[in-house]
């Protein structure tokens, strides 16, 4: 009897299934595949296999001459047999030998033969084996990690006893590899799967010429490489796995029982690689291979349910790639067949149900049939209820289904459930796992959905943070990279709508362009990414009125429409998108662009005709068509247009559930159309009544956003006054109840001042109405409320730029040594000290002083800021006159021109997150407990060295000269979390400084640098350059000789960075754009820049994106190629 016959890998894996994710921020289910003996990690847009194969019980017996060799049988069966063959008992994991004598002689041991075991050593081996098996069974039942740790220790002890050349050493090693795989599946420790791969690599090398055993071992190693690829994302693993599987297939005849099992593995690996690289050739071959696998596998083969499950996942992949409805129908059919063939107690049933849920969700997104959505939720919930322990994928799939139902029905409870599911799934994914970006993206989408529904700024901030992490963890050549970048662009543009900060929309447009340029023209997601770009252009136009933006938006929307077939369910929505900016351009230019109005109506009418009953976007399209018809009525005065407008808008309102915020918008549009009819028609009373009814319903709705409801209440009040001649106190009461809810202390300064104007108008209208109705109490109350709100808006950000007078103001005029006092700053600080309610709302405090030097008047305003061309630090002594005050909610502090240490100010604000300190070059005396949450700092290196140690600063910007001491760098590196972003754009940087920085801050991921070109010649000829640069050209006497030599040396300086960049082990992005484009360095040829990219990547393999002084951005794509980022948007 054989000892320790090959292990049975239990179904203990974390089944990480795909959550319907987002393209253009819409959930699209991406499902996974599974080998007959292997669970897969399913990701939102990915097929990612799990850590290691799932193995079924293999009952061992004596080796017979007519059977396969023990090694081949063990490797092949353990890797390829399906866990769906039976509901396994825990006791079958590590099968004990029944003939201990097979470990040594048939009798007593032979002295001097190191390959034999005496009875004492044999007994110890058997005890270790029994302990390992018992602990493995216990671990399967409880999931207690120390059990599998002890099992590994016991088996390693047995291996120490078995001679190296013993015939059963390979089986023992294989058992140890199995235990490492089990522990990796549970804990995600990469070292475990590395150990397992090393063992199986060793076992494979031992059968280099043994055709009978080699195929099984090739497959065993290939499966583990697939698992490691899922965890680490290294392409070399999946490429090698496919190569090994092809070799295994070539060694086995087609009529062999192992042939179709090996084919299944190859089909899965090709599908995995397609998810990573996005090459359709892999997808087509995967489907072809899996179809052949199913045709060859007998109907009674235990692993056939897995084949159905895997094939359904690959068909889903192709549906998402090509959009063929036949594929998703077959995918659901395969999933249903797989689920029906396994009992409820089977460990893989939850995975099959989760995959089926994702397929149903994908068809719902395409066709909008509610039964598909309910089937998706039911399958996902059943999967969780049947799972032996929680897994990230199961919860993520259910969260995606809840998100889809919320988008369709608007039930807030579904949204909360979706976020909770995604949070749970995130907590179950180990750090460093290749699937982490998918779950970050899914959580980000659910937070974004709640922001759109409730308008909480914290939700969109959290969504952006999660999406940024997803983008940062995804290589630029990854097939999911454009999706995550596009989603991030959308979220930034949404925050721009709320806060009005131009940096958000500028970054959003840049990211949207990157997403479009990274997407192949034939990819079905390209229209969605074009739509994201067009949305960003539209939002910037709406904010700033740049007509070029609306032209770019129309161009992108039009291309998205052209790329979409008429029978595509997305076509109506994309036509609707195009109609919007056409209307805006008409509104901007009027009659000269009347063709835009007619075209907008035409595309919206076509969109309406293409919508099927129950289409989710039908109300939106009808509403937009109604608005376009109203515009034509106001332009031409045709009564038919306004009546048709009202009909379309009434249809939109009737089709929208009350809980959806969109209903308020449609009611407002309907009210506006009735108001337009009221202004011109004979039946003024009837039109006014219906307008008031629409606005009143919107103002009182429970689902509408505060801003929509406020608009409705104000319009209701206006129409009421016009109709009856007296104000409506009810309408104004609702206005005043909504005013506090539209105040966002996190919004930008310009947006807040716009809010102040709007609120002032609303408050004055309400107070005037109350006075007219002799309700003086309400009038006074509302005026006081308006004043308090205005104060909160104005004081949320305080920015003071003050010029200090040269003479001392009273009461210091008679003091000979009295310093000048920043009187305005002093008054502001006293105000905050004496009025705690104002101090409570301050989030940002910006202060800049400079001494008097001209007649330019100084300003003190919460809206103003000052950046002096040559700031002058104020004299010391100012802080002595400041009252001690605290701003409890202060998060951003920026100081400039300070003559005194602001240490006390920092001590008073432990919640401070971001600190900028300009024109201060000394250390700050801070205790370790001061500003414990500081996340970013900008200032002098000496000051940074005194602040950063022990604090969680991950973003650092240094200002000043290029000289930073080693001692300061060493202290800067002592942050409690690694510094990931380093901005050196405000100082001149030499290769020597970069070299010194790399010694202490090697964990930098994003580096922004302004090179010191004035030292180009010196450093280009220094020892840093090294032997890899050509000699300097001779300098001839000519007008251009100086420029040519400087340009050459500047390029030598760039090349000299190669050695330095090699020290940054985690650098992903290098930005040299702050470097002045002078002396030719900013106009380098594309060939030179590409050569530098290749050189720098060899030195720094983690580098993925480089921006040169020429402002050209280069990105690493699949295959190790660098491509220049297209500047601007152009039609493809």
Domain holding 198: CATH number? 1.25.40.10
Angle at 863 between CA 857 and CA 864, to 5 degrees: 35
Query: What's the CA gap between 787 and 783, in Å, rounded?
Result: 6
Residue 452 lies in a domain: no
Among 442, 472, 487, identify where a domain stops: 442
Query: What's the CA gap between 755 and 744, in Å, rounded?
Result: 9
Residue 1088 lies in a domain: yes
Query: What's the CA gap between 330 and 349, in Å, rounded?
Result: 19
* 930 contacts: CB under 8 Å, gap ≥ 6: 903, 906, 907, 910
Tally DSSP H helices, then E strands, for the chain: 40, 15
Block mean pLDDT (10 aa), the chain, length 1132: 27 27 32 30 30 28 30 31 29 38 35 59 83 83 80 85 76 84 76 87 82 85 85 82 90 85 88 80 89 87 88 88 84 92 87 91 82 91 86 87 80 85 85 80 88 78 90 80 92 85 87 89 85 91 77 92 83 90 84 82 91 79 93 89 94 84 90 88 77 94 82 94 91 90 58 72 91 92 87 80 64 48 78 81 83 49 37 49 69 83 86 88 90 92 93 91 86 91 88 86 88 53 40 43 51 72 86 67 68 86 85 74 59 40
Under a CB-based contact definition with an 8 Å cutoff, are residues 390 and 424 in contact?
Answer: yes
Query: What's the CA gap between 156 and 67, in Å, rounded?
Result: 30
Among 442, 471, 500, identify where a domain stops: 442
Query: Which DSSP state fits 209?
Result: T
786: nearest Cα among 769, 807, 765, 771: 765
Residue 894 lies in a domain: no
3-state DSSP assignment of residue 983: strand
Angle at 752 between CA 746 and CA 755, to 5 degrees: 125
Structure tokens, 561: 């429409």
In this predicted structure, what is the pLDDT of residue 982?
93
C-alpha distance from residue 692 to each of 528, 758, 897, 987 (Å): 38, 21, 57, 61
Residue 851 CB-half CA count within 13 A: 13
Under a CB-based contact definition with an 8 Å cutoff, are residues 728 and 769 in contact?
Answer: yes
Which residues, listed in sequence order, are joined to residue 1107 by a DSSP beta bridge?
A: 1071, 1113
Count: domains in the chain: 2
Among 442, 462, 487, identify where a domain stops: 442
Query: What's the CA gap between 801 and 465, in Å, rounded?
Result: 32
Which residues, listed in sequence order, are joined to residue 844 by a DSSP beta bridge?
A: 797, 892
Residue 389 lies in a domain: yes
The secondary structure of 416-445 as a DSSP string is HHHHHHHHHHHHTSPTT-TTHHHHHHHHHH
Residue 630 lies in a domain: no
Residue 1093 lies in a domain: yes
Query: What's the CA gap between 148 and 135, in Å, rounded?
Result: 6
Binning the chain into helix, strand and coil, the percentages to the nearest 5 are 60, 5, 35
Predicted TM-score (pTM) of this structure: 0.53
Under a CB-based contact definition with an 8 Å cutoff, are residues 54 and 273 in contact?
Answer: no
- List, for residues 324-346, the tens digit of each pLDDT value: 888 899 999 999 999 999 888 88
Angle at 622 between CA 620 and CA 628, to 5 degrees: 105
Residue 1130 lies in a domain: yes
Residue 423 lies in a domain: yes
Give buried/exposed letters for 997-1032 (b at 16+ CB in 10 A, else e).
bbebbebbbbbbbbbbbebbbebbebebbeeeeeee
Domain range for residue 1108?
993-1132
Q: For 118, list phi and psi in degrees, rounded to 5.
A: -80, 175
Query: What's the CA gap between 237 and 230, in Å, rounded?
Result: 9
Query: What's the CA gap between 880 and 901, in Å, rounded?
Result: 11
């Amino acid at each position: 009897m054989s000892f320790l016959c090959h292990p049975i890998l239990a179904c203990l894996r974390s089944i990480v299934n795909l959550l319907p994710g987002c393209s253009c921020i819409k959930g699209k289910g991406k499902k996974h595949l599974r080998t007959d003996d292997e669970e897969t990690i399913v990701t939102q847009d990915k097929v990612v296999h799990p850590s290691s194969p799932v193995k079924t019980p293999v009952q061992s017996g004596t080796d017979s001459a007519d059977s396969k060799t023990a090694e081949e049988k063990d490797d092949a069966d353990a890797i390829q047999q399906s866990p769906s063959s039976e509901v396994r008992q825990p006791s079958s994991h590590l099968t004990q030998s029944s003939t201990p004598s097979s470990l040594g002689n048939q009798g007593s041991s032979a002295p001097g033969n190191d390959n034999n075991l005496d009875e004492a050593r044999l007994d110890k081996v058997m005890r270790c084996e029994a302990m390992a098996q018992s602990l493995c069974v216990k671990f399967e039942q409880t999931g207690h990690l120390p059990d599998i740790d002890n099992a590994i220790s016991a088996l390693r002890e047995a291996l120490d006893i078995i001679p190296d050349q013993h015939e059963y050493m390979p089986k023992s090693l294989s058992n140890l590899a199995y235990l490492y795989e089990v522990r990796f599946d549970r804990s995600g420790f990469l070292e475990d799967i590395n150990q397992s791969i090393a063992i199986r690599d060793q076992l494979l090398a031992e059968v280099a010429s043994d055709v009978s055993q080699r195929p099984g071992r090739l497959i065993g190693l290939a499966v583990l490489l697939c698992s490691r690829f899922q965890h680490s994302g290294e392409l070399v693993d999946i490429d090698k796995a496919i190569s090994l599987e092809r070799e295994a297939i070539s060694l086995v005849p087609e009529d062999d029982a192992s042939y179709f099992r090996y084919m299944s593995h190859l089909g899965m690996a090709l599908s995995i690689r397609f998810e990573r690289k996005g090459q359709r050739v892999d997808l087509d071959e995967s489907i072809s291979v899996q179809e052949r696998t199913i045709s060859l596998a007998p109907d009674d083969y235990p692993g056939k349910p897995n084949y159905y499950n895997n094939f359904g996942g690959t068909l889903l992949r192709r549906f998402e790639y090509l959009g063929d409805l036949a594929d998703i129908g077959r995918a659901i059919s395969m999933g249903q067949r797989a689920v029906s063939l396994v009992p409820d107690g089977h460990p893989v049933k939850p995975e099959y149900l989760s995959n089926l849920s994702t397929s149903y969700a994908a068809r719902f997104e395409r066709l909008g049939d509610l039964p598909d959505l309910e089937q998706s939720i039911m399958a996902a919930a059943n999967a969780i209820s049947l799972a032996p322990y929680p897994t990230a994928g199961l919860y993520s799939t259910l969260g995606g289904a809840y998100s889809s139902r919320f988008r369709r029905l608007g039930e807030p409870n579904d949204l909360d459930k979706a976020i909770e599911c995604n949070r749970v799934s995130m907590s179950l994914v180990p750090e460093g796992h290749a699937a982490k970006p998918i779950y970050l993206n899914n959580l980000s989408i659910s937070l974004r959905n709640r922001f759109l529904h409730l308008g909480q700024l914290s939700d969109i901030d959290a969504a952006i943070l999660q999406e940024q992490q997803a983008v940062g963890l995804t290589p630029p050549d990854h097939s999911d990279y454009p999706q995550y970048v596009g989603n991030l662009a959308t979220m930034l543009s949404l925050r721009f709508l709320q806060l009005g900060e131009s940096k958000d929309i500028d970054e959003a447009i840049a990211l949207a362009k990157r997403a479009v340029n990274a997407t192949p023209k034939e990819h079905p997601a390209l229209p969605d990414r074009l739509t994201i770009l067009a949305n960003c252009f539209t939002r910037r136009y709406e904010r700033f009125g740049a007509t070029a933006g609306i032209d770019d938006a129309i161009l992108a929307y039009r291309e998205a429409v052209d790329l979409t077939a008429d029978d595509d369910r997305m076509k109506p929505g994309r036509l609707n998108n195009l109609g919007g900016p056409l209307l805006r351009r008409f509104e901007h230019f009027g009659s000269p662009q009347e063709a835009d109005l007619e075209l907008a109506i035409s595309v919206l009418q076509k969109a309406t005709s293409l919508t099927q009953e129950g289409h989710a976007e039908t109300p939106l399209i009808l509403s937009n068509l109604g608005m376009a018809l109203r515009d034509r009525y106001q332009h031409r005065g045709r009564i038919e247009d306004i009546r048709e407008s009202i009909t379309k808008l009434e249809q939109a309102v009737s089709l929208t559930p009350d809980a959806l915020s969109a209903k308020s918008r449609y009611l407002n549009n309907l009210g506006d159309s009735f108001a337009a009819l009221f202004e011109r028609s004979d039946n003024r009373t009837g039109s006014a009544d219906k307008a008031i009814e629409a606005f009143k319903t919107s103002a009182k709705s429970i689902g509408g956003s505060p801003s929509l409801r406020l608009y409705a209440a104000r319009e209701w009040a206006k129409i009421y006054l016009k109709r009856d001649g007296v104000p409506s106190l009810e309408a104004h009461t609702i206005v005043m109840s909504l005013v506090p809810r539209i105040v966002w202390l996190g919004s930008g300064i310009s947006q807040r001042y716009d809010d102040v104007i709007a609120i002032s108008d609303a408050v004055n209208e309400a107070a005037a109405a109350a006075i007219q109705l002799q309700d003086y109490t309400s009038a006074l109350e509302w005026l006081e409320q308006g004043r308090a709100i205005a104060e909160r808006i104005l004081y949320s950000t305080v920015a003071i730029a003050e010029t200090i007078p040269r003479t001392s103001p009273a009461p210091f005029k008679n003091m000979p040594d009295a310093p000048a006092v920043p009187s305005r700053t002093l008054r502001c600080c006293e105000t905050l000290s004496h009025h705690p309610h104002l101090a409570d709302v301050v989030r940002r405090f910006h202060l800049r002083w400079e001494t008097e030097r001209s007649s330019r008047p100084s300003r003190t305003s919460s809206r103003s800021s000052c950046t002096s061309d040559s700031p002058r630090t104020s004299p010391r002594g100012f802080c002595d006159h400041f009252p001690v005050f605290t701003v409890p909610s202060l998060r951003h502090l920026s100081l400039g021109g300070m003559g005194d240490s602001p240490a006390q100010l920092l001590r008073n604000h432990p919640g401070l997150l971001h600190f900028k300190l300009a024109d201060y070059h000394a250390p700050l005396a801070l205790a370790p407990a001061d500003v414990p949450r500081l996340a970013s700092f900008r200032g002098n290196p000496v000051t940074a060295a005194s602040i950063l140690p022990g604090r969680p600063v991950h973003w650092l910007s240094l200002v000043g000269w290029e000289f930073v001491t080693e001692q300061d760098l060493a202290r800067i590196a002592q942050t409690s979390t690694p510094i990931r972003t380093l901005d050196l754009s405000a100082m001149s940087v030499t290769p020597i400084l970069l070299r010194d920085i790399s010694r202490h801050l090697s964990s930098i991921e994003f580096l922004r640098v302004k090179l010191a070109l004035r030292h180009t010649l010196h450093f280009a000829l220094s020892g840093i350059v090294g032997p890899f640069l050509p000699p300097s050209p001779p300098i001839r006497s000519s007008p251009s000789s100086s420029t040519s030599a400087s340009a050459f040396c500047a390029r030598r300086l760039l090349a000299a960075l190669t050695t330095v960049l090699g020290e940054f082990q985690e650098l992903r992005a290098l930005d040299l754009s702050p470097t002045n484009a002078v002396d030719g360095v900013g106009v380098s040829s594309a060939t030179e820049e590409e050569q530098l990219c290749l050189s720098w990547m060899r030195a720094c393999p983690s580098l993925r994106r480089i921006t040169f002084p020429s402002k050209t951005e280069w990105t690493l794509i699949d295959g190790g190629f660098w491509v220049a980022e297209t500047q601007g948007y152009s039609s493809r």
